[in-house]
């Protein structure tokens, strides 16, 4: 009569433990991944960008609004680490009409993550929007210099991680139109033809750009 109640108590504790383990909630021990979200929306009528994250073990979808300033959507989202994370992005104009949408499913790990690009398909005739999600943000300066044909301008790139901390690394430089301007491995651009083009700096899949204008 003494041992029987104790056995039932132990069984009850085990049952409760199993019930908690099978609820399908996110394991807090996995950690979280913080991703920077960035997109150039200057060529569209987008006024609001919404990110929704779903997964089999995320009971309630996570929703983030990405701020837009100066034609650039930029912000940070936090996603529990794990596989089968689906990120759905929807863009709306100032009147609340859906203009673009797109999604991708990938694995998120705690700490740094490889950059992923999601193309948002236009629904109202605008051009597609490419949104980059990753662990680093690249800022290129000067942002929009102008030089004469044959002249040069030195670009610099600043790398920050998902926590906003400065990071150092090897930058890969590129020009969108080499007939307008070329750029070497140090970020030194040279004017070749009259017009304007973008100079890009890339690090771990994250890219920042600046626009250089070349005059006669």
Other beta carbons less than 10 A from residue 13's beta carbon: 10
Q: Look at residue 30 in the predicted model and tell me its pLDDT.
A: 63
Q: Are 135 and 164 in contact (CB under 8 A)?
A: no
Q: CA–CA separation, 214 vs 191, rounded Å?
A: 6
pLDDT at 70: 87
* List of domains in the chain: 28-134 (2.60.40), 137-215 (2.60.40.1080)
How many Å apart are CA 203 and CA 158, to the nearest integer?
10
Q: Which ranges of the chain have pLDDT less than 50?
A: 1-29
Residue 84 in contact with residue 67, Cβ under 8 Å? no
DSSP character at residue 23: S
Task: Calculate the alpha carbon distances from 16 to 7, 65, 197 in Å.
Answer: 14, 38, 63
Helix (H), strand (E) at residue 59: strand 58-66
The predicted structure's pLDDT at residue 113: 85
Q: What was the pLDDT predicted at 207?
A: 82
| Cβ atoms 183, 199 nearer than 8 A | yes
Phi, psi of 23 (to 5 degrees): -75, -15
DSSP state of 127: P
Alpha carbon distances (Å) from 171 to 98, 140, 161, 187, 205: 36, 11, 14, 9, 10
Give Cβ neighbours of residue 69 (< 8 Å, ≥ 6 apart). none
Reduced to 3 states (helix: H, G, I; strand: E, B; else coil), residue 167 is: strand
Give pLDDT, residue 23. Answer: 30
Q: How far apart are CA 103 and CA 137, in angstroms?
A: 21
142 preceded by a cis bond (ω within 30 of 0): yes
Find out whether 213 and 122 touch, Cβ atoms under 8 Å.
no
Tens of pLDDT along 172-207? 999 999 999 999 999 999 999 999 999 999 888 778
Distances (CA, A) of 146 to 130, 186, 191: 26, 19, 9
What integer pLDDT is reported at residue 28 of this predicted model? 44
């Amino acid at each position: 009569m003494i041992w029987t109640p104790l056995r039932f108590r132990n069984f009850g504790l085990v049952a409760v433990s199993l019930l908690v383990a099978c609820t399908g909630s996110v394991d807090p021990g996995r950690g979280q991944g913080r991703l920077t979200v960035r997109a150039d929306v200057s060529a569209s009528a987008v006024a609001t960008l919404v990110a929704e994250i779903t997964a089999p073990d995320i009971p309630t979808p996570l929703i983030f609004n990405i701020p837009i300033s100066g034609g650039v959507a930029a912000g940070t989202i936090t996603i529990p680490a794990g596989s089968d994370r689906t990120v759905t992005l929807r863009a709306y104009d100032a009147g609340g009409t859906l203009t673009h949408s797109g999604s991708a499913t990938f694995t998120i790990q705690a700490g740094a993550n490889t950059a992923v690009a999601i193309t948002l398909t236009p629904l109202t005739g605008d051009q597609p929007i490419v949104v980059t999600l990753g662990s680093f943000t690249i800022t290129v300066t000067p942002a929009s210099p102008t030089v004469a044909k044959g002249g040069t301008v030195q670009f610099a790139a600043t790398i920050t991680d998902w926590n906003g901390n400065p990071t150092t690394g090897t930058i890969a430089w590129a020009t969108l139109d080499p007939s307008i301007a070329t750029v070497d491995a140090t970020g030194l651009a040279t004017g070749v033809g009259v017009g304007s083009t973008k100079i890009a700096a890339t690090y771990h899949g994250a890219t920042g750009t600046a626009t250089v204008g070349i005059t006669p």
